Amino acid sequence: MAPRRTLRAGSRTCELGARPWLMGVVNASPDSFSGPGGDVEGADIVDVGGESAITGRPPVGVEEELARALPVVERYASAGALVSVDTYKPAVAEAAIAAGAAMVNDVSGLRHPALADVCARTGAALVVMHTRAAPKERLQHPDAYDDVVADVVAFLEERVQVALDHGVAREQILVDPGPDFAKTPAQTVAVLRRLDAVHELGFPLLLAISRKDFIGALTGRSPAERGAGTLAALAHGADAGAHVLRVHDVAAASDFLAVRAALRGDREVPSDLALADELRREPPSSG
């Protein structure tokens, strides 16, 4: 079970830990490594990104990122969703928050402390992620760390302190160990095996494991074929007490967690539970 944590995101106060929350990915970028996202019905949080984290390509300009992301942020926020904006640029974060976002998912490890100023001023939640690489740069070296778990914990502790020093409240912060970011597949697996060490920081834990490279390396599958591997990683994250799980296929993740909760005894199963007749078999093919 996840430790209970309180998260403040804009005007919302979220009590985390009773069950895993799902963060659905909406890619507003044409070059995402995993293809488009956007079917996020049932997600607890909608994460909108206007720039892909794919390496080896120049960063997207602020105006272009805003043109991609803001209409999507506005659409989901106006529908009442808790919206996160996936950006490391303070100007993009500020505009997205003004458009209705209540969280900033920063994959740079707070490389720009001004981003913390934006969150402190607006009350938006802030995801602080571990990475030793600059945005759009690739760092994959088996000898990059003497102890990758210790590096993740020390880095997050130091960057969280930067956020606190800039006025972000503890209740606004989530931490992300950064699977694949500046890590080989083996290093990512080592970190995911020791999520207890990340929990000791005392913040809600966000885990972005959907379709990641480490899953592809373990299974030999391309991003679109990593659904089963993603669910295995999702199970591990849920068992390890992750508070928020970032996924592309919200429906599959939701189904997985529903069955898991019933089998674990975390969800009540009424004695009169029955399968609807129309769900007993596939409908006849129209062809």
Shortest CA distance to 171 belongs to which of 32, 12, 280? 12
- For 205, which DSSP code? B
Q: Which helix H or strand E contains 83, and what residues bound it?
A: strand 83-86
Q: Which helix H or strand E contains 106, and what residues bound it?
A: strand 103-106
Catalytic residue among 246, 260, 264, 281, which? 246
Look up 136 and say whether it is catalytic.
Answer: no
Q: Which helix H or strand E contains 21, and what residues bound it?
A: strand 21-27
Beta strand 21-27 pairing with 83-86? unpaired
Catalytic residue among 89, 211, 212, 260, which? 212
SS3 letters across 26-51: EECCCCCCCCCCCCCCCCCEEEEECC
Look up 246 and say whether it is catalytic.
Answer: yes
Query: 273: which residues sit within 8 A by CB, 6+ positions away?
Result: none
How far is it, in rounded angstroms, from Cα 6 to Cα 170?
Answer: 9
Residues with active-site annotation = 212, 246
